[in-house]
Structure 1
Amino acid sequence: MRSARARLSEQERLASRAHDRAAAAENHLARLVEALDFLPVGIVVSDDRGHELARNRRASSAVGDIQSDVLIARALEDLLMEGRTGTRHERTLELYGPPARSVRISVEPLPSGGAVAVVEDASLRRQLDAVRRDFVANVNHELRTPVGALGVLADALAGERDIEVVHRLAARVSSEAERARGLIEEILEFSSIEANRTAPHQPVGVAAVLEAAVERTLALSERRGVPVRVVEPPDASVTGNRAQLISAVANLLDNAIKYSETGATVEVGVTANGASVDITVRDRGIGIPARDLDRIFERFYRVDRAPIVRHVASNHGGEVLVESREGEGSAFTLRLPRTP
C-alpha cells in the first residue's frame, strides 16, 4: 500500500515537473515571439515535421488580400517542408495586387530540427535596383556626348589660327567641360545617396529642409536672376534622412531655376495631407511636352537630376509627381510619408 502511494506521489511529482517545464517553454516561446515582433521582416518557425510553431506580427501582415494570403501560405508551407532536408531554400513571389509587390521567402534549417522562414517585401529593393540600372545606362549615354565633343573641339583647336574661331571653339570647350563636370557631380551624389540608403531615419522638420535647399541653390538663383520664393510651410515633419531630403529638394530647385527665364520666380511650398507631406517646386519656364511626361524619369531628358530625386523618394517610401504644360511651366511634387 505504502509502495503504491510512493509510486503515485512520484508520478505526481514528475507530472508537476513536466507541467512546469511545459509552462516555462510556452512562456519562453511567447517571449521569443514578442521579441520577433520588433524585427522589420516576417519570421515563421516550424518543427521537424514542418508544422508551424510560431510567427511574428510582420509575417501575419505580409499579405494584402485573399489571393496573396493563399499564395504566401502555400509557398511558406512548401519551403518549410523542404527546409527539413537540411538545406537552404528561397523563393520570390510576384504578387500583381493591386498594389503589385515582390515577396521573398527564404528558409534556413535549424540545428535542432525544424526550420525558420524569413518573409520580406522585396518591392522597394527591386525598385531601387531598377532606378540604379536606369541611371547608370543614362549616364553612360549622356557622358559620351560631352567627352566626344571635347575630343573633336580639341582637334579643331590644334590646327586653328583664326583668333575669332579659337575663341568660339574655346567657349564650346568650356561649355562641354561644364556639362561633363555636372554629370560627374551627379554620379557622385547618386552614389552617396545609394551608399547611405540604409542610414537611420529620424523626424525631420520640413521647413528646415526647405531653408537648407534654398540656401544651397542661392548662388545659381542670383546668377540666373531667378529668385526662389518659399510659401510659408506648415508645421510638419517627415521621418527620413535630412541630408538626402535636402539634396532632393535642392535638385528640384536647381532644375526649376535652370529652365526659367531671367526675372521669373520659382516657388516651393508644402502641403500636409493626412498621412503624407507634399513638397512642391513650381516654375513658369518652358515646360515639358505632354508626350515626354511618361518617360521623364527614365531618361535624362532636360530634367538632369530627376533620377536622384526619385531615388531619394524611393528610399523614404515616397514618390515624385509631375505636372507640366509646354510653354507654361512645371510643378514637381516630392510626396513623403508624414511623421505620425
Structure 2
Amino acid sequence: MDDIILMLIAGIIGLAIGVAGMSAYRESQNRRSLLAEKVEAELPPGSIEVLSIVGRAFVVVDEIDGVVRANPSAYAYGLVRGHTLVHPELVELAHRVRAHGVIEEKQFELSRGPLGQGTIVVHVRVAALGDEFILLLADDRTEITRTEAIRTDFVANVSHELKTPVGAIMLLGEAMDDAAGDEVAIRRFAGRLQKESARLKALVQDIIELSRLQGTNVVVQGKPVDINDVVAEAVDRTKLTADNKNITLSMGLAKEPAMVFGDQELLTTAFKNLIDNAIRYSPEDTAVGVGVRVKDSLVQVSVTDRGPGIPVEEQERIFERFYRVDEARDRQTGGTGLGLSIVKHVVSNHGGEVTVWSQINSGSTFTVRLPELEDAGVPQGKGAEIKGTLSAPGEGGRP
C-alpha cells in the first residue's frame, strides 16, 4: 500500500514538473516573440527589407552590444555567435560610431572559428540605425586580398628578374664598344651577349605563356586531346636542347589512346617545360625518360631525370613562381623560375595534379595525372606503338 502511495506521489510530482516546464517554455517563446516584435517595431521602417537585399553580411546590435538581427552570412563569416558580436575590434568600432554618430569603415583580418583556426579578411562599414541600434555591413575580401598580394609579388619579381639580363646586355654592349680593337674580347663578349639575350627571350616567353594561361577557359575552349600526341610533340621540341648536352630522350607512349579534355597547345607547353627542366638539371651523357600510361581512369605522364635531386624541404615550393632551389645554378642553366609554375597552372586548369619524387644524388621524377576522357570516339590502336626503352612509370621504386 505504501509503495502505491509513493508511486502516485512521484507521478503527481513528475506531472507538475512537466506542466511547469511546458509553461516556462511557452512563456520563453512568448517573450522571444514579443521581443522580436518590439525590435522590428523599433527599427526604422523598411530597414529589414533593405537589409535583406544588400547582398552583404549584416549585423544589428542594440545599446548593450547584443545582436538583435544578423543574416546567415554574418554567422558563416564567424562575426556572430548566438546573440554576441564575437570580435572585440567590431565591438569597439560600434562603440565609436555610437559615441560620435559618424560612419566608420575599416578592413580587418579576423579569426573565422572559435579556436582561431583560419582567418577571413573583411571590410566593415558601421553606421547608426535609428536612435538605438548600430548596423555593421561586412564584405568578404579574403580572395581579393590574396589575389592582390600575388599580383604585387609577381610584378615585383618580374621587375627584378628582367633587370638582370637587361643590365647585363647594357654592360656587355658598353664593353664591346670599349674593346672595339680586341677581336678576342669582342668574341667573348658577343658570346655572353647571346646567352643573356636568350635568357631574356625565355623569360619574356614564359611571362607571355602565363598571361595566356590565365586568359584561357579550358571548359569553353577545350576539346578531346590525345596525350600521346602531346608528349611526342613536347619531346620533339626539346630534342635540340637534349642534343646539346648529349642527353638521350627515352619515350614510352601508351598502347591505347590517352584521351583528356583540354587545350592541346597549353598541355604541350606544360610537358615541354617539364622535359626541358629535366634536361637542364641532368648531367651530360645521361638520359631523361618520359612515359605515358592510362590506369584507373587517369592519364599519367612521368618525366624522370638523373639530376642532383631536390631536398625534401624544398619540394613543396618548387612550383612557386620564380622560386629556385639553387639560384646560382639556375641562372647558370638559363632557367627563368617560371617553368614549373606554368606546369602546375596548366595541369590544375585541366583538373589534374602534378607531384614530385626526388632523392639527393638520385634524380627526380615528376608525375602528372589528368582525368581520362572516356568514349571520345578515337579509333582504337592509335598510339599503340611503344617508342623508346623507358619502363612504365612507377617501376624501379619511383611514383
TM bin (shorter chain): 0.5 to 0.7
What one-letter code is carried by the residue in structure 1 that aligns with 2:215?
Answer: A
Candidates 311, 315, 332, aligned match of 2:366: 332
User: What residue number does 2:177 align with?
Assistant: 158
Q: Is 1:202 the equivalent of 2:223?
A: yes
Q: For residues 267 and 336 of structure 1, what CA distance do their matches in structure 2 show?
A: 19
SS at structure 1 position matched to 2:221:
coil
Structure 1 residues 182 and 159: alpha-carbon distance in aligned structure 2, compared to 1, 3 A threshold: same
Q: For residues 126 and 272 of structure 1, what CA distance do their matches in structure 2 show?
A: 40
| CA deviation after TM superposition for structure 1 residue 73, in Å | 11
SS at structure 2 position matched to 1:169:
helix
Q: Is 1:322 the equivalent of 2:341?
A: no
Matches within 5 A, 1:91-170: 135-160=154-179, 161-170=181-190
Structure 1 residues 276 and 128: alpha-carbon distance in aligned structure 2, compared to 1, 3 A threshold: farther
Q: For residues 262 and 180 of structure 1, what CA distance do their matches in structure 2 show?
A: 24
Contact 1:203 1:237 in 2 (8 A): yes
Structure 2: runs of 5+ lacking an equivalent: 1-48, 53-71, 78-110, 121-141, 325-329, 375-399
Q: For residues 175 and 265 of structure 1, what CA distance do their matches in structure 2 show?
A: 25
Structure 1 residues 131 and 232: alpha-carbon distance in aligned structure 2, compared to 1, 3 A threshold: farther
| CA deviation after TM superposition for structure 1 residue 282, in Å | 0.8
Contact 2:270 2:346 in 1 (8 A): yes
Q: For residues 337 and 128 of structure 1, what CA distance do their matches in structure 2 show?
A: 28
Candidates 224, 230, 235, aligned match of 1:214: 235
Structure 1: runs of 5+ lacking an equivalent: 1-46, 51-70, 77-93, 103-121
Structure 1 residues 207 and 95: alpha-carbon distance in aligned structure 2, compared to 1, 3 A threshold: farther
User: What residue number does 2:278 align with?
Assistant: 256
Question: 243-252 or 231-240: which moved more?
Answer: 231-240
What one-letter code is carried by the residue in structure 2 that aligns with 1:166?
Answer: I
| CA deviation after TM superposition for structure 1 residue 184, in Å | 1.2
Q: For residues 290 and 151 of structure 2, what CA distance do their matches in structure 1 show?
A: 27
What one-letter code is carried by the residue in structure 2 that aligns with 1:329?
Answer: G
User: What residue number does 2:199 align with?
Assistant: 179
Contact 2:307 2:361 in 1 (8 A): yes
Contact 1:230 1:269 in 2 (8 A): yes
| CA deviation after TM superposition for structure 1 residue 263, in Å | 2.2
Q: For residues 129 and 204 of structure 1, what CA distance do their matches in structure 2 show?
A: 34
Structure 1 residues 267 and 138: alpha-carbon distance in aligned structure 2, compared to 1, 3 A threshold: farther
When the two structures are superposed, what TM-score results if normalisation uses the length of structure 1?
A: 0.59
Contact 1:281 1:331 in 2 (8 A): yes
Q: For residues 134 and 253 of structure 1, what CA distance do their matches in structure 2 show?
A: 27
Q: Is 1:228 the equivalent of 2:257?
A: no
Matches within 5 A, 1:30-41: none
Q: For residues 95 and 269 of structure 1, what CA distance do their matches in structure 2 show?
A: 45
When the two structures are superposed, what TM-score results if normalisation uses the length of structure 2?
A: 0.51
Q: For residues 175 and 237 of structure 1, what CA distance do their matches in structure 2 show?
A: 39
Contact 1:284 1:328 in 2 (8 A): yes
> Cα RMSD between the aligned structures?
4.5
Q: For residues 195 and 230 of structure 2, what CA distance do their matches in structure 1 show?
A: 31
User: What residue number does 1:242 align with?
Assistant: 264
Contact 2:254 2:294 in 1 (8 A): no
Structure 1 residues 75 and 328: alpha-carbon distance in aligned structure 2, compared to 1, 3 A threshold: closer
Structure number with greater Rg is 2
- Paired residues in the alignment total 252
User: What residue number does 1:21 align with?
Assistant: none
Structure 1 residues 274 and 177: alpha-carbon distance in aligned structure 2, compared to 1, 3 A threshold: same
Q: For residues 186 and 261 of structure 1, what CA distance do their matches in structure 2 show?
A: 24
